Structure 1
Amino acid sequence: MEIAQVRLLVTDFAACYRFYADVLGLKPQSGATEGPYEKFSAHTGSAGIALQDRAMMAQILRELEDAAAGHRSLVVLRVDDLDAYCAEITARGATLLHGPAPMTDRMRVAHLRDPEGNLVELQQWLLLR
């Protein structure tokens, strides 16, 4: 397992994009200035900070947008075998909110909350960049 990123769930994607790219000088991965997702890194290959439109995450979790509005961030962990890891952690008491399920053609994800209610995303990459 590796820490892939800390993802910030944002409402004003464009303003946040400009802050991380133009003010802090982090390197955007794709240049998606209007979102709904962009990853930033200090240098190639480092774990990064990502922005994701809050409404998009609400749709993924199939929650009402108001319920997801309080979430500001989530921790993203990359695992080699999502199904096996989810089985392992549910046996230890974790409750999955969503998944394992495809998120894109390149990855599958599962979501859960920690005891404080923080979102955690587990992801398995299917195709490398």
Structure 2
Amino acid sequence: MATIQPIIVTSDVDRLQAFYQRMFGAVAESRFPEEGPVFFVMLRVGDSELGLVNNDADLSAPQRFVLSVRVDDVDALLDQVEAAGGNVLGPPNDMPWGERVAHIHDPDGNKLNLTQTIGASAGR
């Protein structure tokens, strides 16, 4: 059995960690090294893990992935994005497959989909 663990490369781990903590209640599970400037932090977000690694990332490079984050209330969370350092890319939309979806950028410009189950498929 395989497990996929997303890791975001950033030049500012502390800034991204603060964003994911504020937006999604992320909790730091581990950090390397334990003291001094951080190189890597593993965050727990609900049942998921998200790694952040410090590197001189080229933030202008094209992103080839989208993190999709299932939340309880897309609209309420959108009100917090800019205060947390991110950007809202547009209003949320109700999709025909039973999800409310909004697109945002984290402080490094990584694209995230915020999704909320709605309508008849809410029980899935």
> TM-score w.r.t. structure 1 length?
0.41
Question: What is the TM-score normalised by the length of structure 2?
Answer: 0.42
Higher helix share: 1
